């Protein structure tokens, strides 16, 4: 802060986190102790809106597929990890324009994805790190039983943001305002929802490229369940999807929190294979730090997992199939799960792709987005999904897909899987894949079994709770 100059404009808004600026001094957004000044530089006057805020900084560290985001506020540090594409989209389209005093590319930011993936945390980072006036909305502060009152309450929220611009309006768990309008219904609730949506659409359109106001919302709803008028450019635009975490993100988080790296990788793999969200991973990390064994249950909330195998087959066993794998390959493998899963996991590993395993026909649009974002190989277990789901994956997933099971999708060629499970190197890889401990004697005993008994034991591997091969023999 420096002495005043008559050539500078008066400050409209100054947010500070140290000493309160005195009238007739010059401030800049880059000054120590100043979080935000508009315009910048400017002269503080008796009419300047002054507000003390927390001192919050964002520090970044890039990984291979993710970014560690350290959110530091007044000495305390919070750790978040987001996929590269998610963080770069938020940073380039919203954070950097707002920090430079410009209007964001779209006046709305919409974060979508499974619960517990860090959408609310992203809103928290934006609310505390940009030096903006923060206005929060939720159903209890907006919805009213009186006709027309809900729309008026919502309009007042936007007016408060406008009066203290630059501002950010935060709407977490925003399903109540983002759901599609039903123009055919004439109930009080339907009419209220139409009225509120019209307020949101009108305000967003008026802010586009003109006002430093951001309406940031988060929801667990899939894109197909949103009011499509919101997704046009100049409003929210394309939603930013925050996917379930991968092994790299889970392991890094657990290591940063103090878990031994080897144990962190082991548990990261278990949690990701169970369909864990970041909230689940954080809870498991706390259990491990307290000496407790985390409770591990396979999640059925989304019908898919980002699968992370612990072992793969020798490359020569899948080389022919690997040559067929392109960016849009669609293949069917009619083989038992015990051989098919290690094969497709090996294909993903040797082709440098991540793996998504679809076990139910829920949230297939999330599968499509995640596969495209993470350059994954998608595996669909055909015996567990409908013909409609098979057709959807074929038409809408822009990624290689391997269909596994006795049911063959239309127009998808079958690949004859010729892998000898009785080959020692293959058998050992399959045992490691299903995390079954073994020794040399166990292997010899298994290989000496009659074919029928051998196949019976191998068939137990995907579903057994036993961890040693000797217990199955």
Shortest CA distance to 163 belongs to which of 142, 137, 135, 140?
135
CA pair distance 115, 85, nearest whole angstrom: 19
3-class DSSP assignment, residue 139: helix
Q: In this predicted structure, which of 3-12, 46-55, 419-428 has the lowest mean pLDDT?
A: 3-12
pLDDT at residue 144 in the model: 82
Pick the CATH number of 302-435 from 3.50.50.60, 3.40.50.300, 3.40.50.150, 3.40.50.450: 3.40.50.300
For the chain, residues classed under CATH 3.40.50.300 are 57-241, 302-435
Q: Residue 109: CA atoms inside 13 Å, Cβ hemisphere, count?
A: 30
CA distances in angstroms from 290 to 257, 276, 283, 286, listed in the order given: 12, 20, 11, 6
Mean pLDDT (the chain, rounded): 88
459: pLDDT strictly greater than 70: yes
Q: Which overall architecture, per CATH, does domain 57-241 show?
A: 3-Layer(aba) Sandwich (3.40)
Q: Residue 42: CA atoms inside 13 Å, Cβ hemisphere, count?
A: 21
List the alpha helices (DSSP H) in 130-224: 139-142, 149-163, 175-178, 188-207
Residues 6+ apart with CB under 8 A from 345: 307, 309, 312, 355, 433
4: pLDDT strictly greater than 70: no
Tell me the percentage of the chain whose pLDDT exceeds 90: 49
183: pLDDT strictly greater than 60: no
Do the Cβ atoms of 358 and 393 come closer than 8 Å? Answer: yes
Instruction: Kindly state the average pLDDT of the residues 323-348.
Output: 91
The strand pairing partners of 356, in sequence order, are 306, 378
Give the pLDDT confidence of 77-96 residue by residue, as tens digits. Answer: 999 999 999 999 999 999 98
What is the CA angle 458-460-466, rounded to 5?
A: 115
3-class DSSP assignment, residue 464: coil
Do the Cβ atoms of 372 and 396 come closer than 8 Å? Answer: no
Listed ranges 103-107, 254-258, 332-336; the one with the highest mean pLDDT: 254-258
Q: Residue 419: CA atoms inside 13 Å, Cβ hemisphere, count?
A: 31
As given in the structure block, the two tokens for residue 144 are: 């009213």
Instruction: Kindly state the average pLDDT of the residues 239-254.
Output: 96
CA pair distance 245, 247, nearest whole angstrom: 7
Shortest CA distance to 377 belongs to which of 343, 422, 419?
343
* Pairing mode of beta strands 354-358, 304-307: antiparallel
CA pair distance 415, 222, nearest whole angstrom: 33
- Residue 231 is given by DSSP the state G
As given in the structure block, the two tokens for residue 414 are: 């079958």
The strand pairing partners of 50, in sequence order, are 14
pLDDT at residue 67 in the model: 97
CA pair distance 288, 112, nearest whole angstrom: 30
Q: DSSP characters for 402-420?
A: EEESS---TT--B------
CA pair distance 282, 255, nearest whole angstrom: 11
CA pair distance 270, 290, nearest whole angstrom: 19
3-class DSSP assignment, residue 83: strand
Tell me the percentage of the chain whose pLDDT exceeds 70: 96
Q: Residue 182: CA atoms inside 13 Å, Cβ hemisphere, count?
A: 9
pLDDT at residue 186 in the model: 57
Helices 278-289, 261-273: crossing angle, 10 deg rounding: 140
Task: Give the total residue count for the chain.
Answer: 473
CA pair distance 98, 162, nearest whole angstrom: 15
Shortest CA distance to 62 belongs to which of 248, 240, 246, 260?
248
CA distances in angstroms from 225 to 110, 179, 327, 329, listed in the order given: 13, 7, 28, 29
Give the pLDDT confidence of 193-226 residue by residue, as tens digits. Answer: 888 889 999 999 999 988 888 999 999 988 788 8
pLDDT at residue 185 in the model: 60
pLDDT at residue 309 in the model: 87
* Pairing mode of beta strands 304-307, 330-333: unpaired
Do the Cβ atoms of 242 and 86 come closer than 8 Å? Answer: yes
Helices 451-460, 440-447: crossing angle, 10 deg rounding: 130
CA 108 to chain centre: 18
Q: DSSP characters for 199-219?
A: HHHHHHHHHTTT--EEEEEEE
Instruction: Kindly state the average pLDDT of the residues 163-188.
Output: 79
**For the chain, how big is the Rg over CA atoms in Å?**
27
Residue showing tokens 């406008």: 162
296: pLDDT strictly greater than 90: no
Whether the bond into 394 is cis, omega within 30 of 0: no
259: pLDDT strictly greater than 80: yes
CA distances in angstroms from 261 to 133, 252, 253, 255, 273, listed in the order given: 41, 8, 10, 6, 18
pLDDT at residue 469 in the model: 85
pLDDT at residue 298 in the model: 59
56: pLDDT strictly greater than 90: no
CA 76 to chain centre: 24
């Amino acid at each position: 802060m420096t002495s005043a100059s008559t050539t500078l404009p008066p400050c409209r808004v100054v947010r500070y986190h140290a000493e309160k600026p005195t009238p007739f001094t010059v401030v800049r957004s880059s000054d120590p102790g100043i979080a935000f000044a508009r315009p910048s530089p400017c002269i503080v006057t008796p009419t300047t809106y002054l507000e003390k805020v927390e001192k919050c900084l964002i520090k970044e560290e890039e990984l291979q597929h993710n970014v560690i985001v350290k959110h530091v506020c007044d000495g305390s540090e919070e750790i978040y990890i987001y996929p590269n594409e998610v963080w770069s989209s938020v940073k380039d389209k919203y954070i950097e324009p707002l920090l430079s005093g410009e209007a964001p590319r779209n006046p709305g930011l919409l974060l979508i994805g499974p619960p517990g993936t860090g959408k609310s945390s992203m809103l928290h980072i934006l609310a505390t790190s940009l030096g903006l006036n923060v206005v929060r909305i939720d159903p209890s502060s907006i919805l009213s039983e009186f006709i027309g009152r809900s729309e008026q309450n919502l309009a007042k929220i936007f007016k408060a943001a406008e009066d203290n611009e630059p501002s950010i309006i935060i709407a977490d768990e925003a399903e109540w305002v983002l759901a599609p309008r039903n123009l055919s219904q004439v109930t009080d609730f339907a009419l209220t929802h139409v009225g509120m949506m019209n307020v949101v659409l009108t305000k967003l359109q008026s802010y586009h490229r003109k006002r430093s106001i951001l309406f940031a919302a988060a929801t667990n709803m899939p894109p197909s369940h949103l009011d499509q008028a919101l997704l046009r450019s100049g409003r929210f635009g394309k939603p930013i999807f925050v996917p379930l975490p991968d092994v790299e993100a889970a392991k890094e988080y657990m290591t940063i929190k103090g878990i031994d790296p080897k144990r962190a990788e082991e548990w990261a793999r278990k949690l990701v294979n169970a369909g864990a969200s970041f909230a689940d991973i954080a809870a498991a990390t706390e259990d491990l730090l307290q000496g407790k064994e985390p409770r591990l249950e396979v999640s059925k909330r989304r019908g898919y997992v980002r699968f992370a195998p612990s072992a793969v087959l020798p490359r020569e066993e899948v080389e022919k199939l690997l040559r067929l794998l392109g960016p849009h390959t669609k293949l069917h493998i009619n083989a038992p799960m015990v051989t098919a899963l290690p094969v497709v996991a090996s294909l993903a590993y040797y082709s440098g792709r991540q793996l998504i395993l679809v076990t139910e026909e829920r949230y297939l649009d999330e599968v499509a987005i995640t596969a495209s974002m993470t350059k994954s190989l998608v595996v669909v277990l055909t015996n567990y999904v409908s013909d409609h789901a098979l057709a959807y994956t074929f038409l809408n997933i822009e990624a290689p897909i391997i269909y596994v099971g006795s049911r063959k999708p239309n127009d998808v060629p079958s690949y004859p899987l010729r892998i000898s499970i009785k080959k020692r190197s293959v058998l050992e890889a399959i045992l490691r894949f299903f995390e079954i401990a073994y020794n040399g004697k166990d292997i010899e005993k298994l290989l000496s079994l009659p074919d029928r008994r051998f196949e019976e034991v191998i068939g137990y591997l995907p579903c057994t709770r036993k961890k040693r091969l000797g217990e199955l023999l």
